[in-house]
Amino acid sequence: MAGGLVRSDAQQNRDRVLVAARAEFTAHGPAASLNKIAQRAGVGPGTLYRHFPNAQALLVAIIAEDVAVLCATGRELLGHPDPARALRDWLRAVAVHATAMRGLVATESLEAAGSALAGCHDEIRAVAAALLERAGAGDDVDDVLAVVNAVAWASERLPDSPGRLDRLLELVTRGLPKPSW
Amino acid sequence: MAGGLVRSDAQQNRDRVLVAARAEFTAHGPAASLNKIAQRAGVGPGTLYRHFPNAQALLVAIIAEDVAVLCATGRELLGHPDPARALRDWLRAVAVHATAMRGLVATESLEAAGSALAGCHDEIRAVAAALLERAGAGDDVDDVLAVVNAVAWASERLPDSPGRLDRLLELVTRGLPKPSW
């Protein structure tokens, strides 16, 4: 943390705004009110707008936080004793992330934020490539990520069925190297 | 054919309207003009409306035609000497059909036509179940169709890449019984 053990006031305000924004976007979608977010975070609207000029900047920051957590998990899994299991576990986390992200924002606003999120995609891609290589899978990393994302999308759209996402993931990853347990 | 070797005038008009509608929808999407379709087919608007009261009825008829061809192909493949190859070939045809269908119509109008298209889905499901069973695959037919549709969707959305649909299908069907050639 820059400057020592205590997060700066600015950093603390930014964190509080992000927590509040996550709650408001989850409840109201991309149309959530920025003023309500500021209120919920206990900061003035000016403080919010200084950090995040618009709703899209907030959404991008939330997604970037999620991707950072996802990728940290993936890098830890690079030390897992069963590389094929590590790969499968992480691909499942990617599918869950893809669904959560689509739940948070409308596709339209995400696509407009394309370039801001390109860095997130590159980070996910790099972790996926490392896990695939360690598991000895010869598949193209973009193909594998496309399939995982597609399966997440399909299980969102289909009628609720317990365990469907896991069944679909099992089906599409059955051709990857096998876990030893 | 009812009534002998020659198709009735009504049937011929209906066929001509469907050919014209396919061309107009392909060019202009679901907003295609019904009057232009009638003109292209060489029939009066009254004749068109007698067969198809609105654009959705036309779209449903086009899709039903495509599904009939798709399922006839699937039933022929039930006689193919390599059941695993037959299954794969037909799943590829299903993916191509799913993409063509999405190209033809907006998701909205399709969902509104839900019940009219339920029969199409049942027909595809029955053929898929027969091909899966003959290939000795123990997978749930709805899961397999969900995965194939998801992969078609993914390859539509991703930047054009030659052979991508085939690579994705290979990846997701690698866990199914193996073709012998």
Query: B67-116 pLDDT, tens per residue?
Result: 999 999 999 999 999 999 999 999 999 999 988 887 776 544 555 566 67
Complex ipTM > 0.85: no
Question: Which chain A residue is nearest to residue B150, measuring alpha carbons?
Answer: A150
The answer to whether the CB atoms of A147 and B167 lie below 8 A apart is no
From the list A154, A171, A175, the residue facing B139 with the nearest CB is A171
Which stretches of A55-163 are DSSP H helices? Answer: 55-77, 83-104, 107-112, 114-135, 141-157
> Above pLDDT 70, what percent of chain A?
90
Q: Which pair of structure tokens corresponds to residue B67?
A: 């599904």
How many A×B Cβ pairs under 8 Å? 67
Q: What is the model's pLDDT at position A158?
A: 84
| Winning range, highest mean pLDDT, from A2-6, A144-148, B58-62 | A144-148
From the list B144, B150, B171, the residue facing A139 with the nearest CB is B171
Spatial CB neighbours of A112, under 8 Å, sequence gap ≥ 6: A56
Q: Is the pLDDT of residue B18 over 90?
A: yes
Confidence of residue A131 (pLDDT cuts 50, 70, 90): very high
